[in-house]
Amino acid sequence: MIKRWLYIILLCLISVPLIVYWVGGLIVGPYEGENGLFGLMISIYSDALSGQLSAWILLFSPLLLIAIWAACRQLQRIARH
């Protein structure tokens, strides 16, 4: 089970900047910072490493949604028994 959560964390760390870049490009236009996607990734990761709460929330928001969903499923199973 821990391997699954570690996999999800790794997936969040990789996929969230990619999704932000892609969706941002569709909604507000191309990323204006240096180095395109890699510049955005460096910006997000450096903010997270410097302790910016917003970067941590951004990176781990899918993990939070998955954890809430798993907890709801577990509560539903408990309620059935």
CA atoms within a 13 Å half-sphere pointing along the CA-CB vector of 51: 0
Which pLDDT score, from 0 to 100, does residue 61 have?
Answer: 93
Mean pLDDT in consecutive groups of 10 residues from the start of the chain, 81 residues: 88 93 94 90 96 95 92 92 77
The structural domains of the chain, with segments of one domain joined by +, span 20-80
Its pTM stands at: 0.77
